Amino acid sequence: MPLAGDGRRVTLGVAAGPTGYAVFVDGARVVDASVKPMTRGLLGLEVFGPREGTVRIVGLRLYELLGSLP
């Protein structure tokens, strides 16, 4: 991220749900992603949003929080 490279501190936030997540930088939503069902062990990920630019996802780990399932 350009902001991270100039020595300025930023606040990152992530809101995650069963079908997607959003990433926030300093309170502004910068990434919306929806997760498609897995196909042959691959996780499908669509990234969309109102801003132009490139999002490079180098890793994605999905965790289940204890007590999050009925």
Q: What is the pLDDT of residues 23-64, one digit of tens each?
A: 887 888 877 777 666 555 555 555 555 555 555 556 555 555
pTM: 0.47
Is the separation of the CB atoms in 2 and 15 below 8 Å? no
Residues 6+ apart with CB under 8 A from 62: 43
Amino acid of residue 37: P
Give the Cα separation of 64 and 17 in Å (integer). 11
Give the Cα separation of 54 and 33 in Å (integer). 13
